[in-house]
Chains A and B, each alone.
Chain A
Amino acid sequence: MKKILTLMLLIPLSFFGQSNEITGSITDEIGDPIPFVSVLVKGINRGATSNFDGDYKIKASKGEVLVFSFIGYLTKEITLGDTNIINITLRSSREALDEVVVVGYGTTKRKDLTGAISSVNSEEIMEQPALSAIEAIQGRSAGLQIISDGEPGGSPVIRIRGTGTVQSGRDPIYVVDGIITDNLDNVNSADIETIDVLKDASSLAIYGSRGANGVIIVTTKKPEIGKLKIQFSSYTGVTDVLKKVDMANSAQWQQYYFEVFNRDENAFNTEFGGGVYGDYPLNLLHDTDWFDEITTMGSLINHNLSLSGGSEKVRSFVSANFYEEKGILKDNDYDRFTLRAKTDYNITNKLTFGHNISVAVTNRDRKPTGAFQTAYRQIPIVPVRDPETNRYGVSGEYATVGNPVGSIETTNSAIKQFTISGSANTKYKFNDFISVRSNFGIQSSYMKSVNYDGEIDLYDPNYGQGGAGDARLTERRLDQTKWTFDLYTTLKKTLGANHNFNLVLGTTTDFRTKSSILGQKNHVPEQEEYWSLDNGESILRLEGINSTDIIVRSYLTRLNYDFNHKYLLTLSGRRDGSSQFSDGNKWGNFYAIGTGWVVSEEKFMSNLEFINFLKLRGSWGQLGNQNVPLQILTFTNGLNYALGPNQDLVFGSTLTSILDPNLTWETTEEYDIGVDFELFKNKLSGVVDYYNKLNKDAALATKLPAAFGSEQSVISNLAQIRNEGFEIGLNWNDKVSKSFRYSIGGNISFNKNTLESLTSDTDVTQTGGLIPNGGILTKRLEIGQPLGSWYLHTVAGVDPLNGLLQYEKADGTTTTDVNALEDGDKKHHGSSQPTKSFGANIKLTYKNFGLTVLGYGVAGGYIYNAKKQQRYNGENIELDVFNNRWTPTNTITAEPKPFTSIQPASTYYLEKSDFLRINNITLSYKLPKIIESLDLIRIYVTAKNPFIFTNYTGYNPELPGINDEDSGRLGKGDPMGTQGMEFQAYPSKKSFIIGLNVNF
C-alpha cells in the first residue's frame, strides 16, 4: 500500500518533471579525471562523453537512470534525484574484484572465483605490437609460457603450467566468442576485449576432454550503447636483428683449416700441389658475410579502424585491420587483412540475440629458414656468385653446404589463407531464476600453398660447372570446417539471505573435418605466373586426404554455491563422447571441486586494516586430452618403386602398422591451492598458486621388435607425467601526485616437469632431438627426468696436452678418443624446457605522458647448439671458437684444437637458455584537446625487444622447434623433437615503431 502511494506521488512528478542539465566530473579511485566516459540516459538514445578533464554535461530528468561506462572500468548506474551535479568515481575493472571473469559457459566475479584464472585486458594486449595477441601477452601472467616464433606469420608455442604430454596435442584450446580454434593468428588483437586463461582443474573440468592443456577464452569487444565512436590506430616501424653471431672471416677460416692439417700455407700448397681447382682457400679473393647476404632490414605496418555504437535495442561493432610484416630474411613477408562485424539485439526484455562475423585473409611468403643454418656453415672464401660464370658459389671440397643466397632466391613458398568465422547467440531469460543460452559458431578456412623450388645454378670450382636441378612445383590445398553448438541453461537462486546458488546445465557438440590435396610436378617454368599444376611435365606426387570427421558430444554441469560471498564452492562435471576412439573407449567423465574462503570477510579480520581482501582457494579435478594420435588402421602409401626401361614410378602400399585397441584419452588430475589478496588500500594486489598435476596415462609410442613387422610405433597409454609448480603475481599501483601515477607488476612461475613412470613389458626407451644430417640423437625420455631431457656425453674441458675434448666415461675416467665412447657414458643434462619464467611491467603516467616497460625472461632450461655441431668437413666456425681455439701456445681453453669432422653429441654444444629481454619500451603522449569532435589523439614510440641479456651464443634463445611439412614431422613445441635446438632458428629481432591513436 505504501509502495502504491509512493508510486502515485512519483508519477506526476516525473510527468511534469523538466529535463535538467546534469553536470559533474568523473574520476577514478585515485581522483584522476577519466576522459571519454560514455554517459547515457538509460532507455533513451541520448548520450554524452566526458571531456579531457573528466567533466560531462547531459540533459536528463529526475528518476531517469544515467549509465556511466568506459573500457577498463566497471559500469556504474545512477538514478537521478534532486541534485543536478553528480560526481562519479569509476572503479577500474582491471584488478577489481568485481571484475567479470569468463569461466566457460558463464561468467562470475573474480571475488567469487574458486579456480585459477588469469585475465589480460585489451589495454595490455595492445601495448605490445604483435601479430597474435598471444605473443603480445608474453610475460603478462604467471603460469603461461609463451615461446615466440620469429618468422613473420609464425605462431607462438604456448604452454599452460608445463608440458603434460609427449605424443598427443600439447597446445591449449582457444575459445573465441564460443568457437573453438587452434590459435589466435587470424584474430585482430584490437578486437579483443579480454583473454581469460583457465589454468586449474576446477576451472577447466567443464571443458572435460578438451581441458588438459588449458583453455584460453577470448572475448571480442562488445558493441557499446551510445553515439558512434570511431577509433583509428596505426603504427609502422623497422625491424632488425637483435642478436648476431660473429663468424670467422676468410683469413681466419683459412688459418683454422690449415691448423686442422697441422700445416701452414706453404705446406698446404706443396701437399695439395696448389692445384686445387679454383684455389678458394689459398687466394682469399672473397670474404663473404653470409648472414649479411641473406638478411635485410624488416618492417612492420598496422592500421586499425573500428566503429561502435547503437541503441539499447541494436548495437554494432565493426572493425577492419591490416597488418604487414617484412622479415629480416630477404623476401620473407606476411600480411593479414581482417574484418569483424558484431551486432547485438535486445529483441525484448527477455530475449537477446547477437551475431558476429569475422573474415581473415592472410598471405605468407616464406623463404627457407634453413638459409640461416647454411649461412652459418658456408665458408667466407666462397663468393655469393662466381664472378666469371655468375652462378651461385659453393665449395663441396671444404664444406658440404649449399648457397644460402641461391636457396632464398630460387625457393619460393606462398601460402594464402582465407578464414571466415560466424556465430549466432541467443539468450532467453525466463525470469531471474532461469535463463537459456545457445551459441552456434562455425569456422571455415581455405588454404592454398604454392612451393616453387626453382633451378639453382651452382658453381663449384672443383667440379667446374655446377648443376641445374629440375624446377619443382608443389601445390597444396587444405579445407577445414568446424562448428560448435552450445546450449545451456543457468539457474540462479538465493535461498534465505545468504545462500547463493548458480547452476549451469548444458550440452555442447563439436564437429571438425578437413580435406587436402597435394600435387607436385617438375619442369615448371620459372615465371611466377606459370606456377600452377597445369604447367610442367610429369606428376611426381598427387595425394588427396580426406580426414575422418571428428565429432565430440558433451554434457556439462557446474554448481556454484556461496554463503554470503564468504564461503565458496564450485562443483563441475562433464561427460564427453568422442568419435575418435574405438568402441568401449569413446565416453569419459570428468569432475572437479573448487572451494574458496574469503578470509577478509571474517569478523576477526576487520581490525587488520591493511588487508583489504584475502581469499584462500583450493581445488581438485580431472581433465582429459582427447587429442591423442588418431588410431585407424590404414594402408601406408608412398612405398613406391620404379619399373620399366624409363623407370616409371609404380605405386606401392601395404599395412605397416599395428594398433593398440585400448588407446583412449589421457586423464590428468590436478590440485591447486591459491591465495588472492589486496593490501594497503588495494595498492598491492597479488595471486599465489601452487599446483600439482599428473597426467595419469599419457600416450606414448612404443616400438615392437622389428620382427613383428610394425614400422610405426604403437601408441598406448603408458606414461605418467607430473607438472608441479608455483605461480606468483604481484601488482603495485599508486600515485606520487595527482598527475604522476605509476604501477609496477611482476610475475614468476616455477614448474617442475617429471616423467614419473612408464608401464610396459618391453623396452620403451624413447629418444629424440634428432639432428637429421648425422642421425645424432640428443634427447632421451627417462623416468625421473623432465620431458625433453638432454642425454649427452659429458665434456670435461679441453685436454691442454693435445687440444682434444675430454669426454667423461661411465667409470669416472676421461678420454679424448671418441671411438672409446659408449652409449652408456651419456648422462642427462637438464631439459630444453625452462623451469622458471618471469615477467615484469612498469607503467608511469605523468600528465599527458606515459611510459611503459615490459620485461620477460626464462631460466633453468638448456639449448643444444645443433648448428654448431653440423660440421662434417671444413664448415665455418664462430669467431669466438676461432679466437679461443686450442693451439700449442694457448692450451688452457674451452675450445678444442681445430677439427673438421662431426663430433658426438656432448655438453660441448649445450648452453643455458636463460635470458632476460626487455620486450617493450613505449613512450606516449596524449595531445591536448584541440578539436571538439576528436576525443583522443595519442602518439607513441615503441622499442620492441630492444635489449636481451643472455649468455647463449646463438641467434635466438627462444626455440619453439621446427615443423617439417614435407616429412610431416611436427617438431614445433615437441619436447622430444627439435624444441630447444638451434638449427635454423629465425634470429631474435628488435623493432622500432611509431604509432598513432585517434578516437572520434
Chain B
Amino acid sequence: MLIFNKKLEIMKNIISLILTLSIIISCNDTKFIDVAPNSLTPEDALNIEGAGDKIVIAIYDELQKYRTMALPWIVLTTVIADNCEEGGKRLNTDINRINEIENISSSENLLNALWAGHFFGISKANRAITLLPIITTLEQEEINVLIGESKFLRALFYFRLVNLYGGVPLIDHVIDPSDSDDKLLANTRVSKEKIYDFIIADLTAAATVLPLKSERSSSELGRATKGAALGLLAKVNMYLASEQNSMTHWQKVMNLTDEIGTMGYALNYDTFQYLKGPSILSTISWLETAENNEESLFEVQGRAETERDAIKSYANIQNSRGNYIGEPNQEFYDAFESGDLRLLSSITKKGDRNWDGSKVSNARKNTLYNHKAYVSSNKDLNTYEVHPESNKNVRILRYADILLIRAEAANELDQPSIALDIINNGIRDRAGLSPLPASIASKEEIRMAIWKERRIELAFEHDRWFDIGRQGRKGDVMRANGKNFTDGKHDLLPIPLTQILLSGNVLEQNPGY
C-alpha cells in the first residue's frame, strides 16, 4: 500500500516534469529568433523610385561637408598660400600649427579630415557608378546622365587630391576590405600621371553624357553640366600643359574653351556695380542673390538646413563677422592696382564698411578681411554661437576662370591678340581698369600679366596654391613672400599620419615629411 503510494507519487512527479519541460521546449526557436530587418536592405532600397537620384545626391552632399569644403580646405589652400596669413580667432587648436606650410605636421587633424572627405566623396561616386546600371526604375538615358554627374564629381575630388598630395590611391570601384587585392589597391599610391589620366577619362565621359546648363530644367539648377565638365577638363589640361610644357595640351585648352564659349556663359558685369551706388546691391556676384548666374559653371549649392556642420560655416570661418581666418596680407592688398574694383569686393580693412553698410570692427585682430566670404544675413548673428549658417554658395568654376585659362593657352600658342583681348576687354574692363600698357608685349610678359590677373580675379577662390604649383614657381613665390619653403617637400602636403597608420604603414609618405 505504502509502496504503491510512493510509486504513484513518483509517477505524478515524472508526468508533471515532462509536462512542464515539453511546454518549455515546444517552440521552434531557431526560426523564432530570425527577424527580418525593418530598415531597407540595400537590394530593396535600390528598387525604390528615386533611389538612383539619391545615391548621386549623396555625392554632391560631400561638397558641403565641413571636412571637404570648410576649415580643412580653407586652411590647406588659402591660409598656407602666399596671399593670406592665419589671422582670425583661434577656432581650433589645430590651426595653431597650420598657419604656415612649414609648420605642417602629418598628424594634423585637418589634413586627415580633408583627405578622408575626398575619399568618402570618391567612394560615394564609385558606389553610384556601380549601382546605377542595375537600377531597374530608371531609363538608360537617365542612368547615363547620373553616371556622368558621378564621374564629374569623382574627377573634381581627384583633381583636388592630386594637387594637394600628389599621387594617391586610385580607386575606381567599391572596395571590399576582406579582399586582399582591394586592400592593397586602397593603400597604394599611384603616380600623378595615372591620376590625371583617370581624371581626363572621367571628365571626357561626363562631358559626352551631361546636358548643357541651358538644357537643364530649373529644378536641376546646381547639378553638373556639360559646361562644368568641359570647364574642369580645360583647367586640368592647362595644369598638364604648364607642367609638361605641352603644346598639345594647350591646344586642347583652346579647343575646349572654344566649345565652352558657345554655351552661353558670360562675365557678369553687375558684379562690381554696387561700388557705384547702393541701389543695386542685389547684383553683387558674391551675394546669395547672384548665385548660379550667367558666369557660373559650377557652384556648391548652400542651404543652411541641409547639413549641420556643412557649407554654412564656410563663409563664417573666413569673414569679419565670424572667425576671420585667412587674413589677406598687405603684400596681396598692394598687388591690386589702384582703381581695381575687385579690391573692395575682395578685401575690407579694419574700420571699413562692408557692402551692406555695416562697419568692420576696429577691435578685431585682423587688419584685413576676406570680403568675398562676408555674409550680411542677420540670421548669422542669431545663431552664431552654435552653428553659424549661411546659404551662400561656394563658387567652384566660373567663366572668368575659363577666360583666363583660354588667355593663357592663347599666349602659349603664340596668339597674343586673343590673350590680350580677353584680359583687356574682359577681365580688366569689368574690374574698371584700363587695358594693359602696350609695353607688355612679349610672351613672357603677357604670361606674367595673366598670372597676376588670375591671382587678383580668383582671390580666396582656392586657386592660388595650386596655380603657383602648376606654374612651377611655388617655392619662388612663397620664399619671396617670406615663407620658409623647401622645394621638393612643401610642394605637396604630407599624407595624413592617421591614414598611414590605418593602412598598416603601407601607404607611402611624401618626401621630406
Write the residues of chain A forming the contact surface with B, with a CB cutoff of 8 angstroms: 272-273, 275-277, 374, 394, 396-397, 400-402, 430-431, 433-434, 436, 455-456, 458, 460, 462-470, 487-489, 491, 505-507, 509, 540, 545-553, 555, 577-579, 586, 632-636, 639-645, 647-656, 658, 703-711, 714, 761-763, 765, 774-776, 818-819, 822-823, 872-873, 901-905, 966-967
Contacts and interface: CB of A to CB of B under 8 A. Distances in A.
Given A550-B35, A655-B42, A765 B13 contact: no
A505 B33 contact: no
A640 B61 contact: yes
Contacts of A710: 123, 177
A434 B19 CA distance: 12
A466 B358 CA distance: 12
A464 B153 CA distance: 42
Contact of B384 (A400, A553, A647, A818): A400
11 contacts: A396-B384, A430-B13, A431-B13, A548-B35, A549-B35, A551-B35, A635-B42, A653-B45, A654-B54, A709-B127, A775-B94
Contact of A652 (B27, B55, B386, B503): B55
B107 to A, nearest CB: 5
B481 to A, nearest CB: 19
A689 B16 CA distance: 40
B122 A709 contact: yes
Given A276-B362, A463-B321, A645 B292 contact: yes
Given A400-B384, A551-B33, A555-B24, A431 B42 contact: no
Chain B's interface size range is 35 or more
Nearest to B32: A553
Contact of B504 (A467, A578, A636, A762): A762
Interface in B8-22: 9, 12-13, 16-17, 20-21
A711 B120 contact: yes
B103 interface: yes
B378 A467 contact: yes
Given A642-B303, A705-B499, A774-B92, A579 B35 contact: yes
B20 A487 contact: yes
A467 B304 CA distance: 15
B342 interface: no
A374 B385 contact: yes
A634 B39 contact: yes
Contacts of B94: 775
A632 B59 CA distance: 22
A774 B93 contact: yes
Nearest to B189: A707
A873 B20 contact: no
Contacts of B115: 706
Given A705-B503, A706-B119, A776 B186 contact: no
Indicate the member of B64, B120, B126 with the most A CB atoms within 10 Å: B120
A456 B305 contact: no
A586 B29 CA distance: 11
Nearest to B223: A643
Interface in B460-509: 498-499, 501-504, 507
Contacts of A904: 93, 96
B133 interface: no
Contact of B105 (A655, A714, A822): A822
B387 to A, nearest CB: 11
A692 B40 CA distance: 43
Interface stretch (B137-145, B167-175, B407-415, B416-424): B167-175
Contacts of A643: 219-223, 301
Nearest to A470: B379
Contacts of A277: 359, 361
B406 interface: no
A774 B91 contact: yes
B151 to A, nearest CB: 16
Given A401-B385, A654-B58, A654-B127, A819 B13 contact: no
Specify which of A642, A823, A967 lies most central, judged by the most chain B CB atoms within 10 Å of its CB.
Answer: A642
Contacts of B93: 774-776, 818, 902-905
Contacts of B283: none
A706 B21 CA distance: 53
A707 B119 contact: yes
A708 B177 contact: yes
B175 A458 contact: no
Given A275-B362, A546-B38, A652-B55, A763 B502 contact: yes
Contacts of B13: 430-431, 433-434
Which 9 residue pairs are nearest across A and B when measured between Cβ atoms? Answer: A709-B123, A652-B57, A467-B378, A642-B303, A763-B501, A706-B116, A639-B58, A652-B58, A469-B382
Nearest to B498: A763
Interface string B174-194: 110100000000110000000
Given A586-B33, A642-B301, A650-B57, A708 B222 contact: no
A776 B95 CA distance: 11
A578 B103 CA distance: 52
A623 to B, nearest CB: 20
A967 B286 CA distance: 32
A596 B428 CA distance: 94
B23 interface: yes
A641 B385 contact: no
Contacts of B92: 774-776, 902
Contacts of A273: 362
Given A765-B501, A902-B93, A549 B301 contact: no
B175 A466 contact: no
B38 A645 contact: no
Given A509-B32, A652-B57, 6 more contacts: A430-B12, A434-B17, A463-B321, A709-B120, A761-B504, A904-B96
A347 B377 CA distance: 75
Nearest to A578: B33
Given A551-B32, A555-B24, A706-B116, A644 B218 contact: yes
B30 A652 contact: no
Given A553-B27, A632-B39, A635-B42, A707 B89 contact: no
Contacts of B30: 577
Contacts of A431: 9, 12-13
A400 B220 contact: no
A469 B383 contact: yes
B289 to A, nearest CB: 11
A163 B283 CA distance: 60
A460 B33 contact: no
Contacts of A650: 53, 57
B159 to A, nearest CB: 17
A378 B493 CA distance: 39
Interface string B363-402: 1100000000000011111111110000100000000000
Nearest to B301: A642
B308 interface: yes
A329 B205 CA distance: 61
Contacts of A641: 57, 60-61, 64, 222, 301, 306
B268 interface: no
B41 interface: yes
Which of A553, A704, A705, A966 counts the most chain B CB atoms within 10 A?
A705
A872 B89 CA distance: 7
Contacts of B126: 709
Contacts of B96: 818-819, 904
A707 B378 contact: no
B113 to A, nearest CB: 9
B69 to A, nearest CB: 12
Contacts of A655: 42, 127
A648 B127 contact: no
B6 to A, nearest CB: 12
Contact of A639 (B34, B57, B109, B175): B57
B499 A654 contact: no
A904 B96 CA distance: 9
A335 B8 CA distance: 59
B361 A397 contact: yes
A632 B37 contact: yes
